[in-house]
Chain A
Amino acid sequence: MSNRIDVRKTYKLFINGQFPRSESGRVYEIKSGKDFVANPSQASRKDMRDAVTAARAAQPGWANATAYNRGQILYRIAEMLEGRTSQFVEEISLLEKVTSIQAKAQVKQSIDQWVWYAGWADKIATAFGSTNPVAGPYYNFTIPEPMGVVGILAPEKPSLLGLVNCLAPVLVSGNTAVLVASQSAPLTAITFAEVLATSDLPAGVCNILTGIKDEIAPWMASHMDINAMDISGAAKKTQPALREAGADNLKRIFSFSDKAKTQRMTSFLEAKTIWHTIGI
C-alpha cells in the first residue's frame, strides 16, 4: 500500500535554455478522450517575442561553430533521445491514439531521422556549395550559409517524428529555431525540450513554445526578425494568410511533404558567392 502523493509535472515553455511558464500565466487543457492529461502553457505574443530574441542572439554563435561541432552536438541529442524512449512512447500512445508498438516505431524512426540529419552537418558545404567556372582570372565559390532565425509550426501528428523532421534540417546548417509544438499532442515536444536542455545545445538555439497554433502563427509570420518559416504543421486553410503576412518582410515560407528530406535543409540556406583573384 502506498500513501504517496504523485509529484505532478508543470508543463512549461523552453526559451533561451530555460523553462519559464508563459508570461501571460495562461494554460490550456489537453485530454485523451474524456480524460484530463495536462495543462501545458499557452504561449503569448510576448513569449514568442522573447523566444525570437533568444534565437537571434544565439544565431551567430551557432552558425560560427564548426560544422563538425554542430554535428557532434546533434548526435549527442540523439543519444539523449534514446534514453528517453519509454517516456516518449508513453506520451505518444496517450495522445495520438496509437498502440505502444506503433509509438515505439515512431520514436525509433525519429531518432534515426535525427541522426541522419546530424550526419549532414559537415557535408552541406560540399554537397550544396560549388566552385563555379567563370570567364576571368578568378576563383569563384558558392557557399551555403544559414538564413538566420527560422519559425517552425510542427505538425499535429506524428508529434515526435513531425517535430524532428522540421527541426533537425533547420538546426543542422546553423539556423536557430522557434518551434511551435503540436497543439493536441505537445507533451513530446516538452520532453524533447528536456532532452535539448541536457545535451550540449547552446541556450537559445532551439526554443519551443506550446499553445494555440492559429494564435501564434500570424504573430510569427509578421515578425520582422524571423527570416524564414516552415509552416508544414499549419492547417491548409490558414497557410495562404501566413504567406501573405510574411511577404511584407521577405520571409521565406515553406511547407513540405513528409517525403522531403534534403530539400528541407536546402530551403533554409542562402548562397554566398565569393570572387577570389588567382595568383598575381
Chain B
Amino acid sequence: MNYSAIIDGSEASLKNFLRTLPGVDQVGAESRAAMLATRSIKNATKSYAIDLAISMVDLTTLEGADTPGKVRALCSKAMRPDPTDPTVPHVGAICVYNDMVSVARQHLDLIGGHDIPVAAVTTAFPSGRASMPVKIQDTQDAITAGATEIDMVIDRGAFLSGQYGQVFEEIKIIKEVCGEKAHLKVILETGELVTYDNVRKASYLAMLAGADFIKTSTGKVSPAATPPVVLVMLEAVRDFYSMTNVKIGVKAAGGIRTTKDAIKQLVLVNETAGPDWLNPGLFRIGASALLNDLLMQRMKMRDGRYASPNYVTID
C-alpha cells in the first residue's frame, strides 16, 4: 500500500489519516512492556546483548559546557570503548551539537573511525523554537561539517495544537536538505506529547514525512524513553513496514542508564518489531552514562567478579 495515495500533504488529509489510527490501550501497553521486562536471560545471551547494545549506542554529549577536547575524548572512547580490551565493538555513532561536528569527524578519521558516523542535533534543538530558515541553515551547517546523521526535533507546540500539516512540512523540508547525504532521525520528545495516542500519531507523521528513524526524546525532558513509549513506537514501525515494506529505525534516548535498562529495550525490539531490527542500522540507544555500565557488566562477565567505575573512563 502506498501512503502517498492517502496523504497529499494537506492538513486535511493528514488529519483524516491520523484519525483512523486506533487508540493505544494505555494499560495494555504498560503491562506488556512491564511483562517483557521480566524476562530472565542466560549468560551467553547476556554477553551477546551487551555487545549488541554497545554497538547500538549513540554516544552523546549535549551540554552547554562541551569543549573540543571533551568531544575528541568521547570520539576516542567511541572507537575503543574499553582501551584494555580490543574485542569490545565500537559504538553506533557519536552525537553532538552542530558546532562540534567537524571536531568529531576529524578526530574520528584521525584515529581510524571512518565507519563511525557523526550525528548532529539540529532544528534549534532541544526546543525546536526557531524560524524555518534558521532550522534549515542549522541542518545545512551540520551536513557541511560532515554529519551523516541528523537528529531533528519536531515542533511540539504545533503538534499539540493540531497543526499536523506544519509538522509534516517541516520534517519534509529537513529531509530534502538531508537528501542522500544524511540519515534523518526525527525526535518526537514523547515526554511532552502527554499521551500514547499522540506518540503513535507523531510516529506516523514522522514516518510519512520521510524520517529514516524515529527517536523518543531529546534527553532534556523527563520522562524520556520509557519502555511503553518505545513499545508504541516499535509497533508503529512494525505496522508501517507491513503496509509499505519500508523499514524505519527507532532510537530510544534519555533515561537509559543501566545495562538492565538497555537489555529490556532489546527484548522489546525483538518481541515487537522483530529480530530484523536488532542491528545498529535500525535500532539505536542514545546515551552517555550507559556505555560505562555496559563496559562494567562486560568486565564482570569476563572476569567473574564485580567491576568498579574506577576502571572505566569518566566523561
Stretch at the interface among A1-9, A124-132, A222-230, A234-242: A222-230
**From residue 111 to 138 of chain A, which have CB atoms closer than 8 A to chain B?**
none
Bound Cα distance A249, B304 (Å): 13
Bound Cα distance A225, B305 (Å): 10
Stretch at the interface among B68-76, B79-87, B307-315: B307-315
Interface bracket on B = under 10
Smallest CB–CB gap between A183 and chain B, Å?
A: 22
Bound Cα distance A56, B296 (Å): 15
Question: Of A49, A223, A224, which is in contact with the most chain B CB atoms at under 10 Å from its CB?
Answer: A224
Bound Cα distance A49, B306 (Å): 8
> Which of A49, A56, A219, A224 has a CB less than 8 Å from the CB of B311?
A224
Residues 277-315 of B, flagged 1 when their CB comes within 8 A of A and 0 if not, give 000000000000000000000010000111111110000
Residues 185-228 of A, flagged 1 when their CB comes within 8 A of B and 0 if not, give 00000000000000000000000000000000001001111000
Q: Which residues of B does A touch, CB under 8 Å?
A: 299, 304-311
> Is residue A231 contacting chain B, with contact meaning CB distance below 8 A?
no
Bound Cα distance A223, B310 (Å): 12
Q: Which residues of A does B touch, CB under 8 Å?
A: 49, 52, 56, 219, 222-225, 249
Instruction: Report, nearest first, the 6 A-B pairs whose CB atoms are least far apart.
Output: A225-B308, A224-B308, A222-B305, A223-B306, A224-B307, A49-B306
Bound Cα distance A56, B305 (Å): 17
Smallest CB–CB gap between B142 and chain A, Å?
A: 37
* 24 interchain pairs, CB-CB under 8 A: A49-B306, A52-B306, A56-B309, A219-B305, A219-B306, A222-B304, A222-B305, A222-B306, A223-B305, A223-B306, A223-B308, A224-B299, A224-B305, A224-B306, A224-B307, A224-B308, A224-B310, A224-B311, A225-B306, A225-B307, A225-B308, A225-B309, A225-B310, A249-B308
A225: chain B residues within 8 A (beta carbon): 306-310
Smallest CB–CB gap between A66 and chain B, Å?
A: 26
Bound Cα distance A249, B309 (Å): 13
Chain B residue with minimal CB distance to A220?
B306
A219: chain B residues within 8 A (beta carbon): 305-306
B304: chain A residues within 8 A (beta carbon): 222
Bound Cα distance A223, B299 (Å): 12
Chain A residue with minimal CB distance to B309?
A225
A222: chain B residues within 8 A (beta carbon): 304-306
Bound Cα distance A222, B304 (Å): 9
A224: chain B residues within 8 A (beta carbon): 299, 305-308, 310-311
Bound Cα distance A248, B310 (Å): 14
